Structures are given as structure tokens and as C-alpha cells.
Amino acid sequence: MTTVISIHGLEKRFGSTVALDGLDLEVASGEIHGFLGPNGAGKSTTIRILLGLARPSGGEARLFDRDPWRDAADLHRRVAYVPGDVSLWPNLSGGEAIDLLARLRGGTADRAAYDARKQRLVEAFQLDPRKKGRAYSKGNRQKVALVAAFAAPAELYILDEPTSGLDPLMEQVFNREIARAAADGATVLLSSHILSEVEALCDRVSIIRAGRRVESGTLAELRHLTRSSVAFVHVPGQETAIEGLEGAHDVVVGSGRVQFTVDSDRVAALLPELGRLGVQGLTVAPPSLEELFLRHYGDDPAMLAGAEATA
Amino acid sequence: MSPTALLVPLVAQRIRRDRIQLVLWIVGTAALALMATAAVGSTFGDEAERESILRLTLLAPAILLFRGTPNGAGEGEFAVFLILAFLCLMAGLMNTFLAVRHTRADEEQGRAELVAATPAGRVLPTAATVVHGVLANVVLAVAVAAAFAASGLELAGSAVTGFAVGATGVAFLGLGLVAAQLFRTSRSANALSVALVIGAYVVRGIGDALGEASDDGLSRTAAWPSWLSPIGWAQRTEPFAANDLVPLVLSLGLAAACIGLVFVFQSARDSGASLLPGRAGRPSAGVLLSGPTGLAWRLSLGAIISWAIGAAVAGALATTLTPLVGRIGADAPAIAETLRQIGGPDASLEEAFTVTFFSMVGILAAAAALQAVIKARQEETHGTAEPVLATPVPRRWWLGGYGLVGGFAILVVLGFAAVGALLGALASDDPAASAENALKSALAQAPAALVYLGLALLVFVLLPRLTIAVAWALLAAGAFFGVFGELLGLPDWVHDLSPFSHAPLPVAGEVDWTGGFWMLGIAGAAIALAVAAMGRRELATDG
């Protein structure tokens, strides 16, 4: 499998501010790669470097094994981009903006095919292409950018929080278009902080924080890094047995249920012991991305809990 | 809270928001009044010279389009003739912008919704805008009256002048508020308002020009079109002569009618809706919108047309007014001397006159080119350059497109000036010579304007954040030193810093193009350097 995006030790400084601090990122051809991080982690800076809109201060970024700064125009023939905060030309209609961007990308060479794709997308996203750019709401501006991106096929889709402002129905339409692009063999870099979207769509995930990658892998691999949560009905008198369970952490007994977490690779070993206790109403939940996320962004879980309590 | 109590914070918020903008408008208008009243003494000499200038308007009533109705040659009357219509124009623009800013623009941006959700409701904010606007006009009236009085002019006449300007402002406040009810976007509302203000200015200019002059040629009764315009009403007060406030009843009556209408509309319609439906755009793009240059052209077109219309008017005036020039030499030696200094020592008075007008055309052409570059900068900060540069458009082509449009804008503006000059020359004694002179003068301004295009592109690439400020500052400095440097007695080297002082001038029938070729070379080098350097520049999106 070839590598589409390859970033090593990437640095970007704005004066004394460090936006990227030795970032690594690998995205293989044909994969949908989730790019996760809180606001200010450096996601958009990374994307701007990949698009040749900004130059790295250090390290290396390669796109299709070429230099994204020097070969920007050439590389962009293969790329479609959706920004997170879409600005449109106030006096151009949405339809005009879509056509302009598609023409610039060379996606209108096959006129009939382009028209059909545009028509299908405009209907699917329920967009009125006759409105002027200044008249669109945030969600509708986002739709214009999405239709422009999907209306002309690309090898790589770079999407920077593409669903911000979309309603759940439109998110479904977006998910379908991503699936369609992936089925055609396209690669997708999906920057997001909507975890359910990443869980639903992505093959692999990279989590970045303060300009560095803190985690990368398939969702299954990442889940091994954290604990599953276990809960069952509390029967008085079992407390000592529960405390003695090997691998159980953070045991909480209360409001009729027992809850604890366990290292994901120890869940199987724990089940026979629970069986011996005869527990009822047992649930074992794999760690969600949210927990992964919190683990990396909440510096100190105790502090997070404290913040929640006072909020 | 009672509505009156709610009005206080709404008005306070408006004053706070406009505190710099309105001060600039009012101080600027008063400064204009002060400059005009001061000029009466210094530039236009004594009463005899003022009389001869007023009599010139008999020969060329077109001058009245830019001045006012003459009402005598006294210092006060002459100052009013020079500047009152301009002051009313400023008041009109200040007020329509104010009206739209606090009503339609707030609705369009969704800010009005925040306020409408409080007990203030949908209608009270408009009442607050009326109060705010009237207060601003009171201050404006006092400032203008003070400016006239400060020049030692009679107090009553100064007060009437101030009142006339303030009342005109209130009339346009009403018109601006109506425009804001009509359209869904502040841009359309502002466009209609500006058209109304300029229309009022031109209509009363036509009425004045068509009017009947008195036997001594020193005053003039305006024809009926002047009575259609609030600016015309202000002139009918005849400050310093009749000092008659009655015509201002029309201004205040118009304002009252407009404001009444606005409250009817405002209480009937939804928040955010408009009386006229918004115009839909095209569902797909035309052929022109296929590349970065087409986009740059589309985005710059409106500005280019405005500059070109201004240039056509300047060109037409240059040739229409030429017949007058011979008389100026005889009747008003001070003005003749001024013109000769701009044109250079060897120029005939007619040539000097044409050159003066075409220097202005050159400034307009440079301004049109600067706006193309400024548009590029606005695209960069607004975030719309990013999606274009994320397509296979190289950075150099992207900027090159704006450079190309800027160069084309210069040609369009100069072309319009030449066409205007040709039309104006048809009436002259020697149309062929007049037209040739105008065409050469128009072409002669191209190199200076191109130098500005090159400089602006360089600033855009090297100091992106300063593009807009530096570009306008360079143009203002060049226009000032180039056109007025000699008049002010500045040293030659300061004067020579301005591209406009190197424009090839048709002097004594000959044109020396050397300066033009030098400037073409400099412009070409600057443009090439800027476009090449753009290949190495990051997108600078922060303001």
C-alpha cells in the first residue's frame, strides 16, 4: 500500500508561538483517516501546510511523495478540500461558487458527468444554488463547500471539520458521500472533534495535542490502550469479593449497581470470576473514543472531575 | 421599563459604536467648510475678482454642477456658492450610512435579533436610530456654523448655513431608513441611498445650471429641478443673503414622512424580511468565471465601473470647460496662475487646464488599479483565497490575475475619460485638436497609474497586513505632491517623488514621452518582482 500523506517531525512556529512541535502523520492510500485534536492542537495548521498555503518551519511533509509547497498547484489536481469555517464570495451565488471551484480543479472536463454529479449533490444536500453567498447560513455555506468538493472526483479529500453546522440528517448524507468516495478508492483525511463521526467512518485515527501526535492506530488498536467499563447489579455482601477481583480499577458501589474499569486485555480473564459470583444485569462496554480523547486532553482526570463538579 | 427608559441604552450603544466614525465625518465636513471659507480670502482675491468668477458661470453654467447657486459676491455668499452643496452631499452620505448601519446591517448580521428578543422589541431600536441620527445632525449643524463663524463671517448667515446642512442630513436620514426597509441586504440599501444622495446633488446642479441669472450676473434663480432635491432646498435658504429658513420645512417634512412610513413598515414586517424580495443569483456560473483572472474581474467590476464613470465626467469637463479658459486668464489672474503652475512653465493656459483634469483622471485610474490589489488582500483575509489556492491555481497566477485586472482597470478608466473628453470636444471650436490633446493626455497617465499598480502588488507580497493602508497612503501622497507640490512651494525633489509629476504632458503641441517610458520600466519591474515573489510567500490570513 502506498503512502499518500507522510509527515515527519513537522514544525511550524508563528513568532514565539509553536503551532506544530515535531508532528508525525502517515496516511495510506485508500484509507479514511481520522485526525483528532482539541481546538488549537494544530490540525488546521497541518492541513494548511499539506495544501501549500503555509511553509513548514522544520521537519518534512510529503503529499503523494511530493513537496506540498513547491508542487502545490500540480498536487491540487488530485485534491479536494473543505475548510471548517467556509467563507463564500458575498456577491456570487452558491451555484457559481461550486462551478468556479470545480472548473479550477479541472473537474468539469466531462461536462455531462459533472452536471449530473452536481445535480445529484445539490438535491441530496437540499441546497438552493441560486442564493447569494452572503445570504447563506453557516450550515448552508458548509453544504456549498461539500458539494464543490464532491462534485469533481479527487484522489485525496482533505476535510477540516466538514460537518460543523450541519444537522444530523445532512451528516448522514455526508457519511454516504464519504463512503462513495472511499468505494472509488479515494483517500480521506478527516479532521474532526465529533467522535461519533470518526468512530463511524474512519479506519485509522491519529490524535494530536499541542502540535504533537500522541496516539495513532486503528480504533481496535487504540481501544487496547484503555480500559473497558464493567457494571452489574449490586448484591449486598459481595464487596470483599469484588475488591479482590484481579485487574479491577476504580470500583464504585452505589445506587444498586457495581461499576469498575478493567484493562481491555484482561476482560476475558475476568468473566469466569464474575460467573462464579453469579452477577446479574452484566454490561461490559468497550472504551469509547471519548474516553481515549479525555485521557489525552484532560491532563488530570481528577481535575476534570473537579471542574465538572463546580460547573 | 418604559419605552423611554429602554431607549436610553439603545441610543447610548449607537453613540458608543459610532464614536470614532461620526467624529471623523463631522470634523471632516467642518474642516471642508473651514477650508472653503479660508479660501475665499486667499485664493479668490477681492470682491471684483469674485464678481468676475461669478460672471464666468454665465458662460459655462456646467460649473454650477460642482458649486452652488450664486447669490452675490460678498464673502459669505461666495463661500456658500463654493461649498454648501458639497457639505450637503457629505451630510447626505453620513446620514444614509448611519441609517443603514443601525437598522438593515444589524438585521442582516443577526445582531438585531439579539436585541429584538429583549423587551426592546423590533421597533424601538429603529426609534433609537432616529434619535441618534437627529443628535448627530444637531452636532453637525453646530460644527458647520462654527466653521463659518470662525472665519469671521456674519453669525446669522453662519447659523443658517449650519441649520441648512443639518436639516438636509435629517432628510437623508429618513430616506436612508426607508431604503433599509426596502432591501434584504445592507449593500443594496446603501447602494440605493448613495444613488439618492448623488441624484439629489446632480438634480439640483441641473436645476441651478438651467436657472435664470440676474442682470448683473452675480446671482441666479434656480429652475424647478432644484426644488426636487433636499440639497436644492438647503440652497434656497440663501445664507448671508436672504437667510430664509422656510425651505427647510420641506427637508424636515420629508424626514417626518419617511420616518412615519418606516414605522408602518417596521411594525408590519418580520424581523430580517424586506419589502422587496432578494434577487436570486444564477444557479450555475457563466463562461467568464472559469479561472482566477475571471474571478478577480468579476469581483472588481463594480469598483472599476464607478471609477470609470468618474473619469468620464472628468474627461468631459476637461474639454467642455476649455473654451472658458481664455476668459479666466483675463478675468481671474490668480486662478490662471495656479493652473499654470500645475501645467508647467511652458504650457499654454488651455493645455495647463486639460493637464489638471487629466492628472485627476490619472489618480482615478491608479485608484481603480489599487482596488484590484486591495481586493486580492480582502480575498486573503476573508478566507475566500484559500479554496481557490487549494485548487491547481499557483500562487503566482492567482496574484497575476489581480495584477492583470488592475492593468485592465487602468485602461478602462483612461478609455472612459477619453470618451468623455471626445464627447465634450464635439462642442468646441476645434474638435479635432481638442480630441487629440485629450487622447494623448489620457494615454500619458497610464505609466504613472501602472507604477502604482506595481507598488501596490509589491506591498501586498512583502507587507500583506499593511496593503490597504500603504496603498492608499502612497496614492494620496503622490496625488498631493504631484499635483499640488509646486503650488505649495515644496522643493523640486519632493515634487519629483510623485509618479504623477513625471507623466508625459502635451506641452506646446509636443509630448515628451521619456518620463513615461521610465515609469513603464519601473512598473513592469515591480509587477514582475511582486508576482515572482508571490511564489515564495505564505498565505497571510490574519488581519
For A180-210, the pLDDT digits (tens) are: 999 999 999 999 877 778 888 999 999 998 8
Q: Determine the distance in angstroms separating the CA of B386 from the nearest CA of chain A, rounded to an integer.
A: 8
Sort out which chain A residues have CB atoms less than 8 A from B383's CB and list them. Answer: 83, 85-87
pLDDT of residue A177: 95
- Whether residues B387 and A148 touch (CB distance < 8 A) is answered with yes
Q: Determine the distance in angstroms separating the CA of A58 from the nearest CA of chain B, rounded to an integer.
A: 15
Q: How far is CA A280 from CA A231, A234, A257, A275, B221, in A?
A: 9, 8, 10, 9, 103
Sort out which chain B residues have CB atoms less than 8 A from A132's CB and list them. Answer: 185, 278-279, 281
- Whether residues A99 and B384 touch (CB distance < 8 A) is answered with no
Query: What is the rounded distance in angstroms from the CA atom of residue B30 to the CA atom of residue A268?
Result: 86
Query: What is the rounded distance in angstroms from the CA atom of residue A140 to the CA atom of residue A123?
Result: 13
Total length of chain A: 311
- Whether residues B282 and A96 touch (CB distance < 8 A) is answered with yes
pLDDT of residue A310: 39
Burial class (CB in 10 A: 0-12, 13-18, 19+), A35: buried
Burial class (CB in 10 A: 0-12, 13-18, 19+), A112: exposed
Buried b or exposed e, range B276-314, using 16+ CB within 10 angstroms:
eeeeebebbbeeebebbbbbbbbbbeebbebbbebbbbb
- Whether residues B391 and A105 touch (CB distance < 8 A) is answered with yes
Q: Give the closest residue to A86 by CA, choosing from B204, B384, B289.
A: B384
Dihedral in degrees, nearest 10, Cα atoms A174, A180, A185, A187:
0
Q: What is the DSSP letter of A87?
A: -
The pairing of strands A79-82 and A156-160 is parallel
Q: How far is CA B451 from CA A267, B458, B473, B493, in A?
A: 75, 11, 14, 18
Instruction: Identify the closest residue of chain A to B301 by CA–CA distance.
Output: A91
B187 touches chain A (CB under 8 A): yes
Residues 51-80 of A with CB under 8 A from B: 51-55, 72-74, 76-77, 79
- Whether residues A95 and B185 touch (CB distance < 8 A) is answered with no
Dihedral in degrees, nearest 10, Cα atoms B411, B413, B415, B418:
-140
pLDDT of residue A302: 43
Residues 281-340 of B with CB under 8 A from A: 281-286, 289-292, 295, 298-299
pLDDT of residue B140: 98
A255 touches chain B (CB under 8 A): no
- Whether residues A130 and B282 touch (CB distance < 8 A) is answered with yes
pLDDT of residue A308: 41
Phi-psi region of A215 (alpha: psi -120 to 50; beta: other; left: phi over 0): beta
**How many C-beta neighbours within 10 Å does residue B73 have?**
23
Q: Which amino acid is at A309?
A: A
**CA distance from start to end of chain A:** 48
Its ipTM equals 0.73
- Whether residues B278 and A103 touch (CB distance < 8 A) is answered with no
Instruction: Identify the closest residue of chain A to B105 by CA–CA distance.
Output: A134
Give the mutation candidate from B391, B395, B398 for the A interface (greatest A CB count, under 10 A): B391
Instruction: Identify the closest residue of chain A to B281 by CA–CA distance.
Output: A130
Domain boundaries defined on chain B: 1-277, 298-543
Sort out which chain B residues have CB atoms less than 8 A from A52's CB and list them. Answer: 389
Sort out which chain A residues have CB atoms less than 8 A from B539's CB and list them. Answer: 48, 53-54
Q: Determine the distance in angstroms separating the CA of B290 from the nearest CA of chain A, rounded to an integer.
A: 6
Q: Are A35 and A189 in contact (CB under 8 A)?
A: yes
Tell me which H or E stretch contains A19: strand A17-28
pTM over 0.90: no
pLDDT values of chain A reduced to their tens digit, one per residue, 311 residues: 689 999 999 999 988 889 999 999 999 999 999 999 888 889 999 999 999 888 999 999 999 999 999 998 899 999 999 998 898 998 889 999 999 999 988 888 889 999 999 999 999 999 999 998 888 999 999 999 999 999 999 999 999 999 888 998 999 999 999 999 999 999 999 998 777 788 889 999 999 988 999 889 888 787 776 778 888 888 887 778 887 887 788 888 877 888 888 887 788 888 888 888 888 888 888 777 777 777 666 654 444 444 444 33
Query: What is the rounded distance in angstroms from the CA atom of residue B155 to the CA atom of residue B138?
Result: 17
Sort out which chain B residues have CB atoms less than 8 A from A91's CB and list them. Answer: 187, 299
Q: Are A100 and B288 in contact (CB under 8 A)?
A: no
pLDDT of residue B24: 94
Q: Are B102 and B176 in contact (CB under 8 A)?
A: no
B439 touches chain A (CB under 8 A): no
Q: Which residues of chain B have pLDDT under 70?
A: 1, 59-60, 323-349, 428-429, 483-489, 506-511, 543
Q: Determine the distance in angstroms separating the CA of A73 from the nearest CA of chain B, rounded to an integer.
A: 4
Give the mutation candidate from A66, A99, A100, A138 for the B interface (greatest B CB count, under 10 A): A100
Sort out which chain A residues have CB atoms less than 8 A from B390's CB and list them. Answer: 51, 53, 76, 79, 81, 158
Give the mutation candidate from A96, A98, A118, A122 for the B interface (greatest B CB count, under 10 A): A96
- Whether residues A93 and B283 touch (CB distance < 8 A) is answered with yes
CB-hemisphere CA count at 13 Å for B346?
Answer: 8
Q: How far is CA A117 from CA A121, A124, A214, B291, in A?
A: 6, 10, 39, 21
Write the secondary structure of A195-230 as one string of H (helix), E (strand) and C (coil): HHHHHHHCCEEEEEECCEEEEEEEHHHHHCCCEEEE
Residue with cell 498536487: A75
pLDDT digits (tens, 9 = 90+) for B270-281: 877 888 877 788
B378 touches chain A (CB under 8 A): no
